[in-house]
Structure 1
Amino acid sequence: MTDHVSMNDWLEKYDGTERISKGDVLEGEVISVNSDEILVNINFMADGIVPKTEIPEENPLAYAPGQKVSVYVIKVDDGEGNVRLSLTRAEGLIVWDELLEIFNQNKTFEIKIKEAVKGGVIAIYKTARIFVPASQLSIAYVSDLSDYVGSKLKVRLVECVPGDKKAVASHKVIELETRQVARKDFLSRVSIGDQLSGKVVRLASYGAFVDLGEIDGLIHVSQMSWRHVKHPSEVMKEGDVVDVIVVQVDRDSERVGLKLAKVMENPWDTIYTIYQVDDVVPAKITRVTQFGAFAELEEGIEGLIHISELSESHVSSVSEVVKVGDSVEVLILDIDADAQKIALSLKAVDSEPETDFAEFVDETDTKATLSDLFADKLKNLKL
């Protein structure tokens, strides 16, 4: 029998081959595969064996003969004359070099979300674990992190420390860049006078912000109605879809000013076509003061019933006659469109009406006289 020759003995005798050591990462080519291991040619006197446990996802059949692979040397001699290799460990070392290059060059790459954790999600890139904070998943607020599990995301690295195997990525930065490109394009095309449609996304004391798709435009309170608007909520609410007209475009500051496309026409501009002096019209009492009561004829048209026009009788207090919310009929005494004032009278409508003789008229007798009409009434009078 021949004596057993160790791998180290062979290495000493093997002429023309570089020595390999534990921890080396080598390039090889797959020779054969089976369900338990992969045989790899590493240009050495002995081929290398990659056991199933050292293969990503423990799936040897995912590889094919002729495929180029990077392998990590676990043992130069496994006791049977074989070089023990690992694909997983090689990839684990190589991937951090790759990630550092990606980070330094600010490249975009794709990751797959594996699980949701406190404050964000964990993704896998080859064999490296990458953390994506919840705040970096999207421009929009993310309420349920689990919705991302199993999905793929395009990201950029915002931090990479290979020595600590630490990598932090962001998808939000890509969304912001995409939005910025869209904003620039939108601003290059939009012009004053354009009519657009959008959703009200936020109300402020000075106006309402409308999502136009690529950018948010502002409707100032002064552009919501002809009348004074104290707060945008008097006109609209968040979530409303409104038609707007562009009134200002500032491309440098990326701001777009808007106005409502259907701003109510000032009724005072057409007041004389709707109301005339001596018209009797319905109204609602809106305010009560010491000198009289204000009554609204329609939205935006409010007139004053002076205390002297409330009743034929003496009025010591306006509230004796009317109160806020009362529905009344009033006579228009005067209209001043320029001053936006209307003088009204309640007593002119409430005064005793003239006697209506219609009920006494016999429509079949066209020759009836006054004495005929009042015959029954006059005979009862005592002189």
Structure 2
Amino acid sequence: MAEDMNNVEVSNFQVGDMLKGQVTKVEEKQVLVNVEGSKLDGIIPISELSSLHVEKASDVVTEGDELELEVIKVEEDALILSKRKVDAEKSWDTLQDKFTNQEVFEAEVNDVVKGGLVVDLGVRGFVPASLVETYFVEDFSDYKGKKLTFKIVELDREKNRLILSHRAVVEEEQEKQKQDILNSLQEGQVIEGTVQRITDFGAFVDIGGIDGLVHISQLAHEHVEKPSDVVEEGQKVNVMVLSVDRDNERISLSIKETLPGPWTDIAEKAPKGSVLEGVVKRLVPFGAFVEVLPGVEGLVHISQISHKHIGTPHEVLSEGQEVKVKVLDSNEQEQRLSLSLKELEEREQQVSANYELPEESTGFQLGEVIGDKLKNLKK
């Protein structure tokens, strides 16, 4: 008789009906519920508990839980119910709003699968590997249980398809940060950056989410053959903002302008009377410019080139020639350095003269030789 009553009650329900039930027993692969307002038992198969793959029913529900359920099958004495379908129906409306408004929301990564991440939003959301970060990730195992921000990039209710992207959120934040930096930069401002990339014509420096170019001519005070000679990727550097083109998002930077000038403390670097080694850089009618320190050229006036009379510096010097010079005078403010070759030539001649004196004793040697010959003749 009770079974007949059950049959009658079961026949009152149809597939698609919504009802409430209380969990009475949690088995490994299914859950038993008591249907509210009746003495009927309902069964929720483990596959209908969640949009995600579930190993044990107890991972999702416990005894006594009140659940909203949908009838998916009517059997003779029981109802087959789904929690997953009710959750999904509720979620689709919310998700559609998020998609329409391009809303950013936070959710936990429930699983890591081949090709990406899985997120439970009442509907199974999938994050393809290419949409997780802005950079390549080799191993996603650390992402399980991690909370990330997402945007919905694809939603198809009929196909039960929901694609999420964390990368889109990061890129949006980076773009906003870039615009904020562009708007805040001022010419002459000095900031810290990191060398990101080196090219033949200079180095790109990250100044907080946006790159600026340090042209090769702005890397150092001295002439630079290759940017890699003076900077390396990952290096922290101070840069001065030379110009900002906000429309084209181009920033010109200088490392050179943040460094002490080559003429700073020149009186200490090249004291009066000191002897320095240098390279002849330019020859002009009135003398020669010799580079004695990186970025520091001093003038050897034509009158200080040689003790001999010369018509032009070209007679005794050539560009690229290495020479020793004596510092006659220096002026940091006017960036002027007076040098002399002649004064060293004078000293060298004295040293040579002193060195050659013993050789005059060859006169005695000659006398000794003549004396020997005379002795031989007498014999």
Measured against aligned partners, the alpha-carbon deviations of 1:160-210 in whole angstroms (never above 9, x if no partner) come to 233333332211111122223333444444433333212111223333222
Q: Which runs of 5+ in 2 are unaligned?
A: 282-287, 309-317, 356-362, 368-379
Residue aligning to 1:222: 217
Residue aligning to 1:172: 167
- Selected match of 2:112 from 101, 112, 115: 115
1:349–1:159 CA distance, 2 compared to 1 (3 A) = farther
1:39 partnered with 2:37:
no
Residue aligning to 1:139: 134
- Selected match of 1:71 from 69, 72, 79: 69
1:196–1:25 CA distance, 2 compared to 1 (3 A) = farther
Partners of 1:215 and 1:52 lie apart in 2 by 50
1:204–1:53 CA distance, 2 compared to 1 (3 A) = closer
1:27–1:178 CA distance, 2 compared to 1 (3 A) = farther
Residue aligning to 1:365: none
Larger displacement relative to structure 2 (90-99 or 266-275): 266-275
Residue aligning to 1:159: 154
Q: Which amino acid aligns with 1:70?
A: E
1:301–1:26 CA distance, 2 compared to 1 (3 A) = same
Q: How many residues align?
A: 342
Q: Which amino acid aligns with 2:14?
A: S
Partners of 1:182 and 1:267 lie apart in 2 by 39
Residue aligning to 1:300: 295
**1:5 aligned counterpart, secondary structure:** helix
Q: Which runs of 5+ in 1 are unaligned?
A: 13-18, 288-292, 313-321, 358-377
Measured against aligned partners, the alpha-carbon deviations of 1:52-108 in whole angstroms (never above 9, x if no partner) come to 5643444358546785533232332x33x3322122354456555654443333233
Partners of 2:102 and 2:34 lie apart in 1 by 35
Measured against aligned partners, the alpha-carbon deviations of 1:1-38 in whole angstroms (never above 9, x if no partner) come to x69637665577xxxxxx5322x152424264555634
- The answer to which structure has the higher helix fraction is 2
Residue aligning to 1:263: 259
Once the two structures are superposed, the pairs formed by residues 1-383 of structure 1 within 5 Å of their partners are 5=4, 9=8, 19-22=12-15, 24=16, 26-30=18-22, 32-34=24-26, 37-42=31-36, 46=40, 48-50=42-44, 54-56=48-50, 57=54, 58-60=56-58, 63=61, 69-76=67-74, 78-79=75-76, 81-91=77-87, 95=91, 98-107=94-103, 108-118=105-115, 121-126=116-121, 128-260=123-255, 262-267=258-263, 274=270, 281-283=275-277, 297-301=292-296, 329-330=324-325, 344=341, 350-351=348-349, 353=351
TM-score (norm 1): 0.65
1:283, distance to aligned residue in structure 2 (A): 1.6
1:110, distance to aligned residue in structure 2 (A): 1.5
Q: Which amino acid aligns with 2:4?
A: V
Partners of 1:210 and 1:136 lie apart in 2 by 26
1:266–1:110 CA distance, 2 compared to 1 (3 A) = same
Partners of 1:68 and 1:244 lie apart in 2 by 63
Measured against aligned partners, the alpha-carbon deviations of 1:298-343 in whole angstroms (never above 9, x if no partner) come to 223468999xx89x9xxxxxxxxx9x998x64457999x9999977
1:177–1:148 CA distance, 2 compared to 1 (3 A) = same
Task: Percent identity, please.
Answer: 27
1:154, distance to aligned residue in structure 2 (A): 1.6
Residue aligning to 2:313: none
Partners of 2:87 and 2:268 lie apart in 1 by 86
TM-score (norm 2): 0.66
Partners of 1:175 and 1:82 lie apart in 2 by 50
2:19–2:36 CA contact under 8 A, matched in 1? yes
1:112, distance to aligned residue in structure 2 (A): 0.8
1:164–1:62 CA distance, 2 compared to 1 (3 A) = closer
1:158–1:142 CA distance, 2 compared to 1 (3 A) = same
Q: Which amino acid aligns with 1:351?
A: Q
Q: Which amino acid aligns with 1:69?
A: L
1:150, distance to aligned residue in structure 2 (A): 3.9
**2:172 aligned counterpart, secondary structure:** helix
Measured against aligned partners, the alpha-carbon deviations of 1:206-228 in whole angstroms (never above 9, x if no partner) come to 33222222433332333333344
Residue aligning to 1:368: none
Larger displacement relative to structure 2 (86-95 or 231-240): 86-95
**2:292 aligned counterpart, secondary structure:** strand
Partners of 1:37 and 1:379 lie apart in 2 by 126
**2:134 aligned counterpart, secondary structure:** coil
